[in-house]
Structure 1
Amino acid sequence: MDDGDAVGILARAMRVLSCFTDDEPALTAAQVAERSGLASSTLHRLLGQLMEHGLLARAPAHRYTVGVRLWELGELSPLALRLRETALPHMSRLYEATGENVHLAVLDAPRPERAAALYVGRVSGQASYPTLSRMGGRHPLHTTGVGKALLSTRDEAWLADYFSVPLERETTHSITTEAGLRADLARARARGYAVTREEMTLGNLSVAAPLGRIGGLPPTAMGIVVRLEGADERRLGALVTQAAADLTRSLRQP
């Protein structure tokens, strides 16, 4: 096999793996074929190879799921070994102080106009306010607390590219204009933390703060999501900014 063939196989494998989503983590071969656009003969061989290497697994009703080996490899990422493991004690203390959802997210930005908040850590309990987030999930920057915190760290050139595409509305409270979001980011920089009020999910308040720059890691933010009713934004802001500062110091230690 020459290098060109290897690249082709890798590209096709990624087309297959990218078919799986939060809403549909298990798919039939026919669904994978439709979504990947691969020919039946090619797909059949590829599914067998991916299963052989543990990247896919069989599921009931003749379906496929992402395999254990893929999860195992993902756990070797610095986002797991370094960032999440170091962050968990700080996130746990923040949860203990509030009893609500604590999130850790990084900037996933192959290009600014396609950037999103990638959730890499979460601490919550049975009484925590329900949220849409999950570890490994991606959500918009402009409607999430951690997303706005990440946006507040970007420079003008980056933001210019980011605003080159329309901002989608998640709820009636979402900020979808460049002027409105820029003003909100200016307020976040001034007070040290970002806030969303029912901008991703109705009924909740999110408060998040960016971490300082950490060598070898993407831009990172820590946030908390609580019920909007009765929430004390200033208290939450102080707790979140302190937790983010403490985590930054921990990550910078040799």
Structure 2
Amino acid sequence: MRHNAPGTPSVADRVLDVLDAFSAERPELTLSELSRRTGLPLSTTHRIVGGLVRRGALERADSGRYRVGLWLWEVASLAPHGLGLRDTAMPFLEDLHEATRQNVQLAVLDAPDVVYLERLSGHTPVPSRAGGRLPAHATGVGLALLAHAPANVAERVLARPMKRFTDKTIASPERLRRVLADVRREGIAISDGQIELVGLSVAAPVFGAEDTAVAAISVAVPATGTDPRTLVPAVRAAARGISRTLGAPRAKRMGLAVGGRG
């Protein structure tokens, strides 16, 4: 459960707890499983689930289990970092995917995590998915975003325990500070073996009209036999193109400097 309010959970808290019980690993749940995962009485769970089904937020499968309904997708598309950003980025993501034939991802920061808005799949499986989230400190897109996040946001992440997935996962504030400084200086983030030892990603931030980082893109590839530096120019160019389309002043200045196009 994600609510942090003291005292008795509100009706809204309980509804959100029911929705939060679903995950990529558990996309369908029975009423008893929902009751158990939320800690709510079965009668309360039944009442909440019935209301969510009537509104289309949940669907009842033929098996009798419940799953997230399409109405939630419609609501989610209204988020500021939702389909508008994705639609702007898609031509550049598709070009990057065509050029690399690897997994291409678009994500936004929801500290301490990143949320993936889009993923174009390559031949190698990766742990991310559209609509999924992973810890920012352990991903290329997360490092690119944290490096350009407001200081208070980055400090909150630095102050939290950092989950370790592999021996290569950044798990200390000191190391994360050094890595973020490198990312700010180089404009690119390379996350090697942090979530899975077999994979790495090369990421770059995307800037909006106010010159703040609004998203990040990455290419995720197998760690073996890949020189991540070969991917840097393509990732950097795609991120710059999206930033320019979004009206980022820094992207426009850079475009003029390298070739005369704003």
Q: Distance in 2 between matches of 1:220 and 1:146?
A: 8
Matched-pair contact (CA < 8 Å) for 1:107–1:218: no
1:68-217 counterparts in 2 under 5 A?
A: 68-109=70-111, 115-125=112-122, 127=123, 129-214=124-209
How far is the alpha carbon of 1:32 from its aligned partner? 0.7
Matched-pair contact (CA < 8 Å) for 1:214–1:252: yes
Q: How much is the aligned-residue C-alpha RMSD, in angstroms?
A: 2.1
Query: TM-score, structure 1 length as denominator?
Result: 0.87
Q: Distance in 1 between matches of 2:153 and 2:114?
A: 15
SS of the counterpart of 1:224? strand
Q: Distance in 2 between matches of 1:212 and 1:151?
A: 13
Q: Distance in 2 between matches of 1:191 and 1:218?
A: 15
Q: Which one-letter code corresponds to 1:249 in the other structure?
A: R
Counterpart residue number, 1:30? 32
Q: Which one-letter code corresponds to 1:213 in the other structure?
A: G
SS of the counterpart of 2:233? helix
Deviation string 1:170-227 (CA, Å, 9 cap, x unpaired) is 1111121222121122221221100011111112221000112345x97310111012
Counterpart residue number, 2:21? 19
1:212-227 counterparts in 2 under 5 A?
A: 212-214=207-209, 219-227=214-222
Q: Cα gap change, 1:61/1:145 in structure 2, threshold over 3 Å: closer, same or farther? A: same
Deviation string 1:120-148 (CA, Å, 9 cap, x unpaired) is 111123x2x21000011110111111011
Counterpart residue number, 1:47? 49
Q: Which one-letter code corresponds to 1:246 in the other structure?
A: G
How far is the alpha carbon of 1:16 from its aligned partner? 1.0
Aligned sequence identity (%) = 40
Q: Distance in 2 between matches of 1:194 and 1:209?
A: 6
5+ residue gaps in structure 1?
1-6, 110-114
5+ residue gaps in structure 2?
1-8, 249-262
Deviation string 1:152-179 (CA, Å, 9 cap, x unpaired) is 1134443332221221211111121222
Q: Which one-letter code corresponds to 2:224 in the other structure?
A: E
Matched-pair contact (CA < 8 Å) for 2:102–2:121: yes
Matched-pair contact (CA < 8 Å) for 2:208–2:246: no
Q: Cα gap change, 1:187/1:218 in structure 2, threshold over 3 Å: closer, same or farther? A: closer
Counterpart residue number, 2:253? none
Q: Distance in 2 between matches of 1:188 and 1:145?
A: 10
The runs of at least 4 aligned residues of structure 1 exceeding 6 Å deviation read: none
Counterpart residue number, 1:10? 12
SS of the counterpart of 2:163? coil
Q: Distance in 2 between matches of 1:165 and 1:65?
A: 32
SS of the counterpart of 2:116? strand
Q: Distance in 1 between matches of 2:153 and 2:45?
A: 39
Q: Which one-letter code corresponds to 2:38 in the other structure?
A: S
SS of the counterpart of 2:194? coil
SS of the counterpart of 1:252? coil
Q: Distance in 2 between matches of 1:173 and 1:251?
A: 34
Q: Distance in 1 between matches of 2:120 and 2:82?
A: 14
Deviation string 1:221-242 (CA, Å, 9 cap, x unpaired) is 0111012223232221111111
